[in-house]
Amino acid sequence: MNEETVQNKSLTIVLGVVSAAFIWILLPFYGAVFWAVILGILFAPMQRRLQLKLGWQRNLTSLLTLSICLVIAILPVIIISILLVQEGAAVYQRIENGELDIAGYVQQFKHSLPPYFQHMLDRLGLGGLEAMREKIIKSAVTGGQVLATQVFSFGQGTFEFIVSFFIMLYLLFFFLRDGADLARRVRAAVPLEEQQKRRLQLKFNRVVRATVKGNLLVAITQGALGGAIFWFLDIPSALLWAVLMAFLSLLPAVGAGIVWAPVAAFFLFTGAVWQGVVLGLFGVFVIGLVDNVLRPILVGKDTKMPDYMILISTLGGLAIFGLNGFVIGPLIAALFMSSWDIFLETKPRVQLP
């Protein structure tokens, strides 16, 4: 083994160690770094167009793009999160005070079911009103305690949240300004052919834009439509249900139907026929149409992944990385598929006899 080989191996070891150490110190703020990169990719075309149109320096156009991003992408999320916490606390208070009798609603729904399903509920221990009320109240109290704990921990972690928020904005400014240079340096360091590196980078950018812009647009549209119909039908806590439907709509083939379908069935079985019919028709032909029409156009077309792969990777990403996983999961899946495609293209084809 010559000296050059030893030096190369030593350099590789040093690079691995320092890279792992660098990632380790970034872990407490990985969410801030991650979303700075994602927003930088999404708003980079806007920054370039502003620079070409206005003729300003990159610092000024990056600052202007950052301001636009703050107004249209970041502040609305913060405002909705605050309203959601307030709405959730109000619902918990209504349940605790007895103003919202969930057990009574469920018991009414049970009596409207066919006898077979009523016997099934009896076997599950949900037949008696008192037993059902005790189970539901216990679940509601547990959920309220979890919500209160989260709100309290959020209050205690306000300083950490503020620090992460400003780190994200600070990094986003530099990613907007120097993103193209950083991308070229990363591509130069990847030990692949130039065509393969370009292919992976294009796939990365397309999946990020498709999953964030496409999924968020579908989620916002379905959540807004679901909240509007809930408000029209005078269903309590329409904002809370709207946010829940928006979150669930991130899951393809599952979606907001998990929320509106049981409510429509409850209306139909309890005698509120017109409310159930209106909600069911609106859910199928309006909310469902958004998922069936917009999602393939905005998400599937750019990612070029089958629906089952998007669903599994989204669920896995959410389970491991939390809310960030709805981007990380499909991104890893897309890069996995692209990497294997490149690998198979480089292998010689085996001639079958």
pLDDT digits (tens, 9 = 90+) for 247-273: 888 776 667 888 888 888 878 877 788
Same domain, residue pair 255 and 337: yes
In a domain, 19, yes or no: no
**Average pLDDT score, the chain:** 77
Lowest model confidence (mean pLDDT) among 16-25, 33-42, 240-249, 278-287: 240-249
Q: Is residue 291 part of a domain?
A: yes
> How much of the chain, in percent, has pLDDT values that exceed 90?
6
- Whether residue 62 sits in one domain with residue 161: yes
Q: What is the pTM of this model?
A: 0.71
Choosing from 139, 159, 189, the residue where a domain stops is 189
With bands split at pLDDT 50, 70 and 90, how would you rate the model's confidence at 65? very high
The answer to whether residue 3 is domain-embedded is: no
Residues 223 and 130 in one domain: no
Both 107 and 208 in a single domain? no
Domain containing 324: what range? 194-342
- pLDDT score at 350: 45
> Which of 146, 163, 189 is at the close of a domain?
189
**Residues 18-25: what's their mean pLDDT?**
88
Q: What is the pLDDT of residues 100-136, one digit of tens each?
A: 666 566 666 666 666 666 666 666 555 554 555 555 5
Overall number of domains in the chain: 2
pLDDT score, position 352: 42
Instruction: Kindly state whether residues 183 and 218 are assigned to the same domain.
Output: no
Q: Tell whether 39 and 174 lie within a shared domain.
A: yes
Does residue 125 share a domain with residue 108?
yes
Q: What is the mean pLDDT of residues 87-95?
A: 71
Q: In sequence order, which ranges of the chain are alpha helices (DSSP H)?
A: 3-26, 30-54, 58-69, 75-97, 102-111, 115-123, 129-156, 158-189, 194-209, 215-232, 238-248, 257-269, 273-282, 288-295, 301-303, 307-321, 325-346
Choice between 86 and 157, residue whose per-residue pLDDT is larger: 86
pLDDT for 154 = 47
The answer to whether residues 160 and 202 belong to one domain is no
Same domain for 113 and 243, yes or no, is no
Q: Are 38 and 179 members of one domain?
A: yes
Question: Is residue 37 domain-shared with residue 140, that is, in the same domain?
Answer: yes
Judge whether 273 lies within some domain: yes
Q: How far apart are CA 59 and CA 67, in angstroms?
A: 12
